[in-house]
Amino acid sequence: MSDLDLAGEEGARDFIRDIVRADLRDGRVGGVVTRFPPEPNGYLHLGHAKAICIDFGIAEEFGGRCNLRMDDTNPTKEEHEYIDSIQQDVRWLGFDWGDRLCYASDYFEQLYEWAEHLIREGKAYVDDLSADEIREYRGTLTEPGRNSPFRDRPVEENLELFRRMRKGEFADGSRVLRARIDMASGNINLRDPVLYRILHASHPRTGDAWCIYPTYDYAHGQSDAIEGVTHSLCTLEFEDHRPLYDWFIANLPVPSRPRQIEFSRLNVSHTIVSKRRLLQLVREGLVSGWDDPRMPTLRGMRRRGFPPEALRDFVRRVGVTKSENLIEVAYLEACVREVLNKRAERRMAVLNPLKLVIENYPEDQVETLTAVNNPEDEGAGTREVPFSRVLYIERDDFMEDPPKKFFRLSPGAEVRLRYAYFVKCTGVVKDAAGNVTELRCTYDPATRGGDSPDGRKVKATLHWVSAAHAVDAEVRLYETLFRNPVPGAGGDFLADLNPDSLKVLEGCKVEPALAEAKLGQALQFERQGYFCLDPDSGPGRPVFNRTVALRDTWAKEKAKG
RNA sequence: UGGGGCGUAGCCAAGCGGUAAGGCAGCGGGUUUUGGUCCCGCCAUCCCAGGUUCGAAUCCUGGCGCCCCAGCCA
């Protein structure tokens, strides 16, 4: 059975894959070619991740190929910096375009020749109307437009004018080349769309070779045709453009006939992906930069510790349809946890330390205990953790006056210290203000390793760190950037910023093994969440980002009251 | 009084005339040296109204609701 058959039998099913499958089966296409066409004017984000997974994923599944194409038709907005970052991000997500890094700008000459072809056929003309006049002549959603007074210029005059446009004889905005279609069309895209505008701007790749640049509508489909793209997948807002896309393909001597198919874009709750708004967050210093771990950019999510396979799985599970959607951010988090649960090595880290002294434990004794690195993965092995008389435990793991369902430590209660011993709380030390500053406990030497020979049960297991061996660390806890499911729904999106989106914890006490944490390594701080080392870390002073918290049913129980 | 889409559970989403998959969330229970993981169970009659049919989420008609389009942006 070939890969192709396999895709047909067992591959994911959605309306696009159904179309591709049918096109292959009926011989309308010999193979599958797609493309991911970002405009190099910003960083890739979660929304792009969906498109990337679909474009590259479908090509891969059907044994085809996917080109990475920079849609660089507007030199006033594009920068070289983005051409590099886009490639890094697509690669990080897990896709490869081989040697097929393409640029719409590579087709400028061909596109120009085809424009002359349209002029010769009487299907395009140079219009001297100003931008404002063109808008006025275009009509409205409910009223037809009017023909431009320049619409019926003779072919020769159009040709001459267009060539002079290219030579740079005219000022920006003074003339455009338009397709001659139908000013009365109900579809506004067909009311003589602009093909070329004059822009005396230098292009990141073509420099000053051109002063006229093709518009998206004119360039996109023809670029697809040149590359032999069979299925040009894009988002719903381009659905209205498809008749125009098809018109160019039908009226130009292009080498192939690509087909555009639209799907709905990804919307995730408590998140924004608008380039303008993301930029505003960066510019106003509301986040630390494009790679702030709270940002929905691929760079941000990478720094946050989201595994690329979790993102791919998320896109796969969310599906491909044409319906408007708002995916709960919890779904994304679930995908992240699923991958990290299998991969992350466990460690003990006390984020909010409370000193615990074991009164009956020998003053200078230090024991080395063995801890499992990952109960989900035998191969991850074990590590050694030092234990001694003075420890730190999590403040939240002690309550002086606990409610019935609180299983953790409280006066008189006995709990297990993970991998170590059972301890019983025998006393509480407080400062003048009445705050608990230290716990006094006794331990049961017979419970070494965490099991009691007499079968005694304990209702909680706490993580801990030996005070003398602890490594100090900074830990950054993140929540969604916005507290509203749809930021800005009430007008101002900045008003919806979540004041608790970042919480910096200093003076955290982590086990010695964490001093060796490596960038990019997935970690689980037991009972708390998944974490990763941040590049801000210094020698001997690690900084950890919380990727996502562990599911917390106790927190839910507490919330119920 | 324009054109193009979409409407199945709290959120996604299968379903393509034969009697509503699955995931996330939620709820209940079991296992557990992470209140994690894992396991089990519960959780919808398909926007509305007519019609066709033995039989409709699926077909037809008419409504209603929501989204997109008037850049020389993509």
Which fold would CATH assign to domain A352-463?
A: Ribosomal Protein L25; Chain P (2.40.240)
Pick the catalytic residue: A138, A146, A265, A355?
A: A265
- The reply to whether A138 has its C-beta less than 7 Å from any atom of strand B is yes
Q: CB within 8 A of A337, min separation 6: which ones?
A: A530, A548, A550, A551
Report CA(A135)–C1'(B63) in Å, whole number.
36
Q: CATH 2.40.240.10 residue ranges in chain A?
A: 275-345+473-560, 352-463
* Cβ density class A126-145: b for 16+ within 10 Å, e for less: bbebeeeebeebbbeeeeeb
Tell me the C-alpha distance between A224 and A256, whole Å: 8
Amino acid at the residue A360: N
Q: CB within 8 A of A331, min separation 6: which ones?
A: A314, A317, A318
Which is it for strands A414-417 and A461-462: parallel, antiparallel or unpaired?
parallel
Binning chain A into helix, strand and coil, the percentages to the nearest 5 are: 35, 25, 40
pLDDT recorded at residue A560: 81
DSSP string, A38-85: --SSS--BHHHHHHHHHHHHHHHHTT-EEEEEE----TTT--HHHHHH
pLDDT recorded at residue A3: 39
Nearest to A439 by CA among A457, A418, A464: A464
The strand B neighbours among A residues 504-543, by Cβ under 7 Å, are: 524, 526-527
* Phi, psi for A375 (deg, rounded to 5): -60, -15
Report CA(A463)–C1'(B41) in Å, whole number.
32
Tell me the C-alpha distance between A511 and A470, whole Å: 5
Nearest to A540 by CA among A445, A459, A472: A472
Which positions of chain B lie under 7 Å from any protein Cβ?
1-8, 10-16, 22-27, 33-38, 66-74
Question: From the CB of residue A123, how many other CB atoms can be counted at a distance below 10 Å?
Answer: 17
pLDDT recorded at residue A11: 59
Which fold would CATH assign to domain A5-263?
A: Rossmann fold (3.40.50)
Q: Is A275 among the residues known to form the active site?
A: yes
Tell me the C-alpha distance between A319 and A312, whole Å: 11
Tell me the C-alpha distance between A49 and A172, whole Å: 36
Report CA(A3)–C1'(B55) in Å, whole number.
40
Report CA(A257)–C1'(B12) in Å, whole number.
34
Tell me the C-alpha distance between A88 and A93, whole Å: 9
Pick the catalytic residue: A257, A275, A355, A440?
A: A275
Which nucleotide is closest, CA of A346 to its C1'? B34
Report CA(A418)–C1'(B32) in Å, whole number.
13
> How many residues are given for chain A?
561
Which nucleotide is closest, CA of A457 to its C1'? B33
Q: Is A265 among the residues known to form the active site?
A: yes
- The reply to whether A559 has its C-beta less than 7 Å from any atom of strand B is no
Which residues of chain A have a pLDDT value below 50?
Answer: 1-9
- The reply to whether A408 has its C-beta less than 7 Å from any atom of strand B is yes
DSSP string, A280-327: HHHHTTSSSSTT-TTS-BHHHHHHHT--HHHHHHHHHHH---SS---B
Which nucleotide is closest, CA of A421 to its C1'? B33
Q: CATH 3.40.50.620 residue ranges in chain A?
A: 5-263
Nearest to A210 by CA among A106, A77, A68, A121: A106
pLDDT recorded at residue A421: 98
pLDDT recorded at residue A490: 87
Residue A148 and residue A134 in contact, taking contact as beta carbons nearer than 8 Å: yes
The strand B neighbours among A residues 197-216, by Cβ under 7 Å, are: 197-198, 213, 215-216
The strand B neighbours among A residues 422-461, by Cβ under 7 Å, are: 449-451, 460-461
The strand B neighbours among A residues 357-386, by Cβ under 7 Å, are: 374-376
The strand B neighbours among A residues 165-194, by Cβ under 7 Å, are: 172-176, 186-189, 193-194
- Hey, which residues does A65 pair with through a beta bridge? A33
- The reply to whether A246 has its C-beta less than 7 Å from any atom of strand B is no
Report CA(A508)–C1'(B26) in Å, whole number.
34
Tell me the C-alpha distance between A497 and A365, whole Å: 50
Tell me the C-alpha distance between A364 and A389, whole Å: 8
Q: Is A17 among the residues known to form the active site?
A: no
pLDDT recorded at residue A325: 98
Which fold would CATH assign to domain A275-345+473-560?
A: Ribosomal Protein L25; Chain P (2.40.240)
Structure tokens, A439: 């716990």
Report CA(A328)–C1'(B10) in Å, whole number.
10
Angle, CA of A533, A465 and A463, to the nearest 5°: 90
Q: Which residue is nearest to nucleotide B7 (CA to C1')?
A: A323
Which nucleotide is closest, CA of A557 to its C1'? B35
- The reply to whether A241 has its C-beta less than 7 Å from any atom of strand B is yes
The count of C-alpha atoms lying within 13 angstroms of the C-alpha of A352, restricted to the half-sphere facing its C-beta, is 10
The strand B neighbours among A residues 283-342, by Cβ under 7 Å, are: 317-328, 330-331, 334, 337-338, 341
Which nucleotide is closest, CA of A135 to its C1'? B70
